[in-house]
Amino acid sequence: MKIVVLNGSPKGDISVTMQYVAYIRKKYPDHSWEILNVAQDIRKIEKDTVAWKSIVDSIRSADIVLWAFPLYYLVVCSQYKRFIELVFERNAQDAFAGTYAASLSTSIHFFDQIAHAYIHAVSDDLGMKYLGFYSAEMRDLLKEEERKRLEKFAALLFTAVQEKIPVQRENDPLVWPALSYVPGTQQKTYKTGTKKVVILTDSDGSSPNLAAMTDRLLKNFSGPVEMINLHDVNIKGGCLGCCQCGYDNTCVYTDGYVDFYKNKLVPADIIIMAGSVHDRYLSSAWKQFFDRSFFKGHTPGLKGKQIGFMIAGPLHQIPHLKEALTAWADNGGCHAQFVTDEVSDAGELDALLDTMAARLIQNAEAGYIPPHTFYAIGGHKIFRDSIYGGMRIAFQADYRYYTEHGMFDFPQADLKTRLFNAILIPLTRIPGFRKKVFADMKHHMIEPFGSVLEDA
């Protein structure tokens, strides 16, 4: 069988993910393997038609296409995203159609399920037969048990392809909103007061609805609003994954990204992020924006901001995209609202945009950020443990930040609870005591709130 690996690491061969591929390859040397560094070589692939054609020919000849990639900001890196965009832009879907696909990632399991949902949906759109994913923690390969698991995954994958098993498409084709948005003439305006508003867009003229929505929302604010197009920011390329920023938050790029982030976004109270759906995510320009913010490591660089996601396209048919944006905001300590053009008429969209503008200002004035959900609570624990442990040497700036902000909140550090447990747990071995404690559990659970309610 011929296995074509689409390497989604910007680091090319010197990639953690490629060690996993190398391992499977070593175990199954009888198959023919071809590894294409499509993320690392994206610039060349964009410009060089011979290179592009050779990649497409390889894919066409594959029995299995293995999407192998590191997680970058809950999905794949911007360079890989761009490769996927090129496939659709250049109508190369037929080279993929009918071929079996699977995905393999390495990460620290921070939203790995979203990345695989994305690749699954893309594979479905390409007419591929997607057989599932393998999501490894980046150091798993060092463990005997995990190596065996990986071998089993590969063996079952190869058997499934040899047996030509049928595969059901899980993601329906996207249906784009029918509306051609022409905003109404009735325009509500809201005073921005002391709040700084930035509208960030990647508009390139390809989505008239996005441009019209942005125009409408801009007029909703009375007061200065800065409008920035990502294409006008001097961003030389996607994150390279070199992790040199981990020491002191200094990025190896010397382009305009860090200045733009620090001087335009950090001072803002409200950031509207305007984009349109490209395949099953936003554009690779938006992905590049997210990826490059990695110079801040695993710290919430935009904490406390009100975020308005204004999206043209079928967002509600792409649950993993909504989840990725929601989880990004939650992990960053922001408050996210969404408006899309999936509406019945222009009047409805006018009203939704008016409301979003009003609520962004109200929330900013009130300083309201909702309580974290599982996305940020779970995410924090993953980061906390990794930065305290194995990732500390690489991410020393994060370690300092977490120490200064009391973010190493391990249960072991909670001395009061430890003392409470140390005394009470042995006592519950006494049947009479235990009976009383457990019989009254409902009251014990509400008891601590008594004083708060009295004082309220």
Ligand X SMILES: Cc1cc2nc3c(=O)[nH]c(=O)nc-3n(C[C@H](O)[C@H](O)[C@H](O)COP(=O)(O)O)c2cc1C
Which of 16, 56, 160, 343 binds ligand X (CB under 6 A)? It is 16
Q: Is 72 in the site for ligand X (CB under 6 A)?
A: yes
- Choice between 221 and 401, CB closer to ligand X: 401
What lies within 8 Å, CB to CB, of 195 at 6+ separation is: 223, 269, 270, 361, 364, 365
Q: Which ranges of 28-131 does DSSP label H, i.e. alpha helix?
A: 42-47, 49-60, 78-89, 93-96, 112-125
Question: Distance (Å, rounded) from C-alpha 179 to C-alpha 168?
Answer: 31
Residues 244 and 252 sit within 8 Å (Cβ to Cβ)? yes
For residue 38, give the nearest of 5, 71, 61, 15 by alpha carbon: 5
- Judged by beta carbon, residue 211 or residue 239, the one nearer ligand X is 239
Q: Which long-range contacts (CB under 8 A, 24 or more apart) does 82-91 make?
A: 82/42, 82/46, 82/238, 82/284, 83/6, 83/8, 83/38, 83/39, 83/42, 83/45, 84/122, 84/279, 85/278, 85/279, 85/283, 85/284, 86/45, 86/46, 86/52, 87/126, 88/125, 88/279, 90/52
- 109 binds ligand X, rule: CB under 6 A: yes
- Distance from chain centroid for Cα 195: 28
Q: Does 299 bind ligand X (CB under 6 A)?
A: no
Counting contacts by CB under 6 A, is residue 349 touching ligand X?
no
What is the DSSP secondary structure assignment for residue 13, as one 8-state letter? T
Q: How far is the CB of 355 from ligand X (least distance, A)?
A: 31
Report d(CA 419, CA 208) in Å as an integer. 62
Least Cβ distance, residue 308 to ligand X (angstroms)? 23
107 binds ligand X (CB under 6 A): yes
Q: Provide the minimum distance between the beta carbon of 177 and ligand X in the complex, in angstroms, as a whole number.
A: 29
Residues in contact with ligand X, total (CB under 6 A)? 22
Q: Could you tell me which stretch among 26-34, 72-80, 254-262, 397-405 binds ligand X (CB under 6 A)?
A: 72-80
Shortest gap between Cβ of 359 and ligand X (angstroms)? 28
Task: Tell me if 106 contacts ligand X by CB under 6 A.
Answer: yes
Nearer CB in complex with ligand X: 106/171: 106
Q: Which residue has the tokens 């390969």?
A: 141
Kindly state whether residue 209 participates in binding ligand X, applying the rule CB under 6 A: no
Compute the distance between CA of residue 316 and CA of residue 340 in angstroms, rounded to an integer. Answer: 9
Among 67, 110, 253, 338, binds ligand X (CB under 6 A): 110
The window from 47-55, 102-110, 299-307, 439-447 that contacts ligand X (CB under 6 A) reads 102-110
The binder of ligand X chosen from 71, 117, 357, 361 (CB under 6 A)? 71
At closest approach, how far in Å is the CB of 214 from ligand X? 27
Q: Which is nearer to ligand X, 239 or 310 (CB)?
A: 239
Residues 236-255, one symbol each (x = binds ligand X by CB under 6 A, - = not), give ---x-x--------------
74 contributes a contact to ligand X by CB under 6 A: yes
| 153 closest CA partner among 205, 116, 180, 189 | 116
List interacting residues with ligand X (CB under 6 A).
9, 11, 15-17, 70-74, 106-112, 138, 239, 241, 291, 294
